[in-house]
Structure 1
Amino acid sequence: MWTLFRKELSSFFTSLTGYIVVIIFLLINSLFMWVFPGTINVVESGYANLDALFIMAPWVFLFLVPAVTMRLFSEEKKTGTIDLLLTRPLSDMQIVLAKYLAGTGIVIISLIPTFVYFYSIWQLGDPVGNLDLGGTWGAYIGLLFLASIYVAIGVFASSLSDNQIISFLIAVSLSFVFYVGFDSLAQLSSADQLAFYIKNLGINEHYSSISRGVIDSRDIIYFLAVITIFLLFTRTVLQSRKW
């Protein structure tokens, strides 16, 4: 499994996809944090925080992650190597996990350079270091979980079609629904209790919760459950080729 994982991860960078994703992610977030005018601009707002990163990153990942994952199975199907892949001495779940972990690896690599933002904001604080560390680290954890769900959705979408564009569109649509779709649906409900349960089906409710710096086991369970569900869906799609 780890051999396949390393192969998939290295392929992102041999094809320049990995570099492009990291550069675009950092560029867009940097522009909104430091250049574009607005309430989340650090210089303009006068507040030393990383709110801009944690507000913009989910939207940037919403498109970048599907762009990364769309080829994971679609390319294998189109070139006919999927059958060869399935004959490896690996279980279907190990194949799914290897590709999922490779996609998640790109997310982690994208987030590592943002610690430069963290250091900059730390130095800009008055006094130096005047930063809500609990909220910041909680938001980083939440962002990693959020992007990990996007990866799981993207891997599933990639298994559905041999057309990468179709896989991309499916992944973006599903990720959008899970990020803000349930919030919008909850607003249509006149029953507060029902609205509460609907909102809790979406990513944003749990991402916002964990971003406050409180690591709630219910949020962790939610993220892990959604990731697991989509990985199991992907395994089922692969197994259906053998029926």
Structure 2
Amino acid sequence: MYAVFKRELFSLLNSLMAYITIGVFLLVSGLLLWFFPDTSILEYGYAELNGFFSLTPFLFMFLIPAITMRSFAEERREGTYILLASRPLTDWQIILAKYLACFTLILFALIPTLLYYYTIVQLGMPKGNIDGGAVAGSYIGLLLLGAAFASIGVFASSVTKNQVIAFAVAVLLSFIAYSGFDSLGKIFSATVFEDIFVWLSINEHFQSMSRGVLDTRDLVYFISFILLFLGITRIVIGGRKW
């Protein structure tokens, strides 16, 4: 499994698409956070990163599918998945190796953004005037959100040989999971379905963690969400063997 993980990670790191995607993510988030007047922290005047954490999920909807779209789609298009499947590896080991490689790249994309936190700490009046607990909770929420979107992306890549289709499907499913259930909850407002749709929304659990409170219910939700899509991917991959 480690060999597949290493091969997949180095394949991503050797891909120009990965660097372009991460570069665009850092450029857009930096411009929105520091330069554009409507979203700039300097214009806002408060030592917090709420703007960054509310913006990043929507950037993730495009960043992560661009990273995961080649996971299985490229292997199937080039016919190399047959060689991979013939190795003494289970479907779960192959899926987890590819998934963890994508998640590692997402982690690499988030690490440079810690500079934003350091800058706010230094610019605060007095210095360090920022809620570190809320920032830590938000970063953990972003990692779990990225992990959830990565599971969607890996699933989308397993259902088609076309990377563009895999990208589009992953973006659509990520948007539905993050914002779609919230919208359905508003449609069914004041009914029992409102609570169900709100609970199903990733946004609800992400916002809960962004307050700096790590609730086990949110952790269980994200883990269950990830396992659900990886499990569906296992069914798709296993079914194609026959």
2:213 matched to which residue of 1?
Answer: 214
1:155 matched to which residue of 2?
Answer: 154
Q: In 1, Cα distance between the equivalents of 2:166 and 2:34?
A: 34
Point out the more displaced range, 9-18 or 132-141: 9-18
The letter for the 2-side match of 1:89 is P
2:195 matched to which residue of 1?
Answer: 196
Q: Are 2:11 and 1:11 equivalent residues in the alignment? A: yes
Deviation at 1:242, TM superposition (A): 2.2
Q: In 1, Cα distance between the equivalents of 2:189 and 2:213?
A: 29
Query: Could you report, residue by residue, the CA deviation over 1:31-90 in whole angstroms, capped at 9, with x for unpaired residues?
Result: 01111111x311101111111210111111100110111111000110111111111111
Q: In 2, Cα distance between the equivalents of 1:237 and 1:162?
A: 13
Deviation at 1:20, TM superposition (A): 1.6
Q: In 2, Cα distance between the equivalents of 1:126 and 1:102?
A: 40
The letter for the 2-side match of 1:17 is M
Q: Are 2:159 and 1:172 equivalent residues in the alignment? A: no
Q: Is the Cα contact below 8 Å between 2:22 and 2:63 reproduced in 1?
A: no
Deviation at 1:192, TM superposition (A): 4.1
The letter for the 2-side match of 1:23 is G
Q: In 2, Cα distance between the equivalents of 1:241 and 1:193?
A: 39
The answer for unaligned runs of 5 or more in structure 1 is: none
The letter for the 2-side match of 1:175 is S
SS in 2 for 1:191: coil
SS in 1 for 2:28: helix
Deviation at 1:191, TM superposition (A): 3.0
SS in 2 for 1:200: helix
SS in 2 for 1:241: helix
Instruction: Please report the TM-score for the alignment, with normalisation by the length of structure 1.
Output: 0.97
Q: In 2, Cα distance between the equivalents of 1:164 and 1:37?
A: 36
Structure 1 segments, 4+ long, off by >2 Å, are 190-194
The answer for unaligned runs of 5 or more in structure 2 is: none
Deviation at 1:134, TM superposition (A): 0.8
Q: Is the Cα contact below 8 Å between 1:29 and 1:52 reproduced in 2?
A: no
Q: In 2, Cα distance between the equivalents of 1:189 and 1:103?
A: 36
2:103 matched to which residue of 1?
Answer: 104
Instruction: Please report the TM-score for the alignment, with normalisation by the length of structure 2.
Output: 0.98
SS in 2 for 1:215: coil
Q: In 1, Cα distance between the equivalents of 2:51 and 2:13?
A: 28
Q: Are 2:36 and 1:36 equivalent residues in the alignment? A: yes
1:27 matched to which residue of 2?
Answer: 27
- CA-based RMSD: 0.9
The letter for the 2-side match of 1:20 is I
SS in 2 for 1:88: coil
The letter for the 1-side match of 2:106 is V
Query: Could you report, residue by residue, the CA deviation over 1:171-207 in whole angstroms, capped at 9, with x for unpaired residues?
Result: 0000000000000000011434320121110100000
Deviation at 1:12, TM superposition (A): 1.3
SS in 1 for 2:211: coil
Q: In 1, Cα distance between the equivalents of 2:89 and 2:77?
A: 21
Identity of aligned residues (%): 50
Equivalent pairs, count: 242
